[in-house]
Amino acid sequence: MSAPAAHHYTATGLDSRKIAIWAFIGSECMLFVSLISTYLIYKGRSIAGPYPHEEWVSPTGEHFNAILNIPVTSASTFVLLMSSLFMVLALAAVQNKNVPKHTFGDRLLGSSKLWLLMTAVAGTTFLGFQAFEFTSFVHEGLSIRTNLFGSSFFTLTGFHGAHVTAGVIWLLTLLSIDYRRGLGPNDALIVDLAALYWHFVDVVWIAIFTLVYLIK
């Protein structure tokens, strides 16, 4: 990522990495489309509970609550959405590194370290929520082996979580580069690539939150 930008001729004038990341995001779309479609196809097909939105009483008389906890996940969704805002601020801060800053507000908005850190923290918070969610679901009797809902839910959200994890590592890598040598306008591209990925992962979560959590 910190490889020096090659100043070769390109047909579009864009850096090649920018085109490659879009191609990568295109393939990621198909990955999540396959996962989400499977979840939706399997919705309501589980022979035994627990279920996402309804209570369930097992043949042995055990009582299971509806699994999905929408208030908690709304909070984690909000945190993740905010992280996209932080990411935008981080990129802007890197791009405008050389613009003189006069007020405290200027310096605050212009701190790429702060906003990269905030983005990573928000991502980590989201992952913390997900870890809490997963453990509490397991305690309530839903694991990845329990039924089709469990298999498709944990695989879908787990894949998303893995993407967020990769994103957090990416952001922390950028942060460490920022501490080592400082990120300036010449590095805007490598931050931009991370930002595109981060926003994509965020958008996917909006789709998952709507289709999996909100629609009953």
Partner 1 sequence: MATTAVPAHPAPKGVSAYDEHSGIWSWIATVDHKRIGVLYLFTALTFFIIGGIEAVILRAQLQGPNGTLVSAEMYNQLFTMHGTTMIFLAIMPLSAAFFNFLIPLQVGARDVAFPRLNAFSYWVYLFGGIFITLPIFFKVAPNGGWFGYTPLTTPPFSPQVNIDFWVIGLQILGVSSLAAAFNFITTIINLRAPGMTLMRMPMFTWMSFIVQFMLVLAFPVITIALVFLLFDRFFGTQFYEIAAGADPLLWQHLFWIFGHPEVYILILPAFGLVSEIIPANSKKPLFGYPVMVYSGILIALLGFGVWAHHMFAVGMGPIADSVFALATMLIGIPTGVKIFNWIGTMAQGKVRYTTAMLFAIGLVALFTIGGISGVMHSSPPADLQQTDTYFIVAHFHYVLFGGSIMGIFGGIYHYFPKITGRLMDEKLGKIHFWLNFIGMNLTFFPMHFSGMLGMPRRIYTYDSGQGWDTFNLMSSLGAYLLVISTAIFAYNFLKSRKKGEVAGSNPWGAGTLEWSLPSPVPEYNFATLPKVSSRYPLWEGNEDDAESARINSQEGKTADELGIVLPYPTVKPLIVALAMVVMFCGLLTSRAVLFVGAAVMVFALYSWLTAPLEPEHH
Residues in the site for partner 1, rule: CB under 8 A? 1-4, 6-12, 14, 16, 19-20, 23-24, 26-31, 34-35, 38, 41-42, 45-48, 144-145, 147-148, 150-152, 155, 173
Q: At its nearest, how many Å lie between partner 1 and the CB of residue 13? A: 9
Q: At its nearest, how many Å lie between partner 1 and the CB of residue 79? A: 26
Q: At its nearest, how many Å lie between partner 1 and the CB of residue 148? A: 6
Q: Which is nearer to partner 1, 122 or 174 (CB)?
A: 174
3-state SS assignment for residue 44: coil
What's the one-letter identity of residue 136?
S
Q: Which is nearer to partner 1, 130 or 147 (CB)?
A: 147
Q: Which is nearer to partner 1, 85 or 144 (CB)?
A: 144
Q: At its nearest, how many Å lie between partner 1 and the CB of residue 165? A: 12
Token pair 């935008």: residue: 88
Q: At its nearest, how many Å lie between partner 1 and the CB of residue 49? A: 12
- The answer to whether 90 and 115 are in contact (CB under 8 A) is yes
Of residues 41, 47, 39, the one with CA closest to residue 68: 39
Q: Which is nearer to partner 1, 96 or 155 (CB)?
A: 155
Q: Which is nearer to partner 1, 116 or 122 (CB)?
A: 116
Q: How far is Cα 151 from Cα 149, in angstroms, rounded to an integer?
A: 6
User: Residue 63 belongs to what H/E stretch?
Assistant: strand 63-64
Burial of 147 per CB tally in 10 Å (0-12, 13-18, 19+)? buried
Q: How far is Cα 93 from Cα 107, in angstroms, rounded to an integer?
A: 9
